[in-house]
A and B are shown apart, each in its own frame.
Chain A
């Protein structure tokens, strides 16, 4: 669950776009392909990790806002 689902939706959009790069490269083989794949996969992993961490902070901040706003 995310306090801000919009960011998650778009995060999925961005990583989906990157994933498509891996599956839609016609006839490209060899070391340069492997290197490109590795770089894209690494970026996807870093993005997902970053988004998870940000979501945790965002959740904590949302809860704090709710408490200080007097909603319990």
Chain B
């Protein structure tokens, strides 16, 4: 005799979908508030008003995920493999949400466009050796809305900023809403590259990366920049240039679901209250090559690069030294040639 299928008021798969949509909404509210950073009063007032709302959206998302897990627990007595198969759906669900948003956004904007890169200057500087120095460089790159390549010997550090234009209409910077959705829905596969992915490959090529055997590149990315870096490594685009990806350092990036090969070291910094790294709904990894540095909740919004730098400064000498040891393995010491590039959409 076989058991009758369990009937639910709402199916677990829908609950997981609600969870994904709620997380995406909360992240969208938070990152859009970043565009007010140049207005200190509005910025602080917004933090005060939006932080509890974002917390409540997250709570509702967590309730949906918990309810789905409970339902699956009930179903487990009927079909053992169901829970596991739904669990594996989570990253797919997150990609599906991005795909739907991309389709809607493409109707308005026309979708992805071509991108041009142009060098804006070059200078020499000591290579970074600590996480604080790396975050400082990333902050400078984000403020200048640039991509940076730092070459020391035959090692290259590639710095990629976060999203700079949240309008659904592509205009100027390649790091915008359109490319965000393309990068999220895609995975760095040939033919599915976003504008910043094209730009990053172009500047690496222009810098000479891959022109000599043994060239290595470490990507340092914030938010969308981290996602772009993860895609380039996972999709094999870096290897196709002729060099080797030696690591990825992600700050607030939704990269957990990207299929980065096990031998490539990844360091991912995530605030407990930063929703952006949670957007892919994937488990935050902790393996011998993948280090997720979980930083405590911040007083305000958790996605700001400034607050990441502050948290790293407050993490304590022992933890900081451990992190710097790991980072040292991904960088090359000495003087570096630093070149900045603008990545601008065509048209």
A residues with a Cβ closer than 8 A to B are 3-7, 9-11, 13-15, 17-18, 20-21, 25-30, 32-33, 36, 39-40, 43, 46-47, 50, 53-54, 57-58, 60-62, 65
Contacts and interface: CB of A to CB of B under 8 A. Distances in A.
Contacts of A47: 29, 53
7 contacts: A7-B36, A17-B25, A32-B9, A39-B60, A43-B56, A54-B49, A57-B42
The 5 closest A-B pairs by CB, nearest first: A10-B32, A58-B42, A50-B49, A14-B28, A28-B10
B29 A11 contact: yes
Given A14-B25, A28-B9, A61 B166 contact: no
A40 B14 CA distance: 15
A58 B36 contact: yes
What is the interface of chain A mostly: helix, strand, loop, or mixed? Answer: helix
Contact of B21 (A6, A10, A17): A17
Nearest to A32: B9
A5 B25 CA distance: 18
Contacts, number: 105
A33 B35 CA distance: 35
A63 B167 CA distance: 23
B67 to A, nearest CB: 9
Contacts of B24: 17
A18 B46 CA distance: 20
Interface string B32-44: 1101100111100
A27 B8 CA distance: 10
Contacts of B167: 5-6, 9
A25 B21 CA distance: 12
Interface string B140-165: 00000000000000000000000001
Q: How large is the interface on B (under 10, 10 to 19, 20 to 34, 35 or more residues)?
A: 20 to 34
A17 B28 CA distance: 10
B92 interface: no
B86 interface: no
A10 B39 CA distance: 17
B168 interface: yes
Contacts of B14: 25-26, 28
Contacts of B337: none
Interface string B158-195: 00000001111000000001000000000000000000
A17 B32 CA distance: 14
A62 B39 CA distance: 8
B97 to A, nearest CB: 8
Nearest to A65: B39
A54 B32 contact: no
A44 to B, nearest CB: 9
Given A18-B25, A33-B10, A50-B50, A7 B32 contact: yes
Contact of B168 (A9, A32, A36, A39): A9
B32 A6 contact: yes
A60 B39 CA distance: 10
Nearest to B67: A32
A43 B177 CA distance: 23
Contact of A21 (B18, B40, B42, B177): B18
Contacts of B101: 13, 17
B57 interface: yes
Interface string B332-345: 00000000000000
A39 B50 CA distance: 16
Contact of B60 (A15, A43, A46, A58): A43
A51 to B, nearest CB: 8
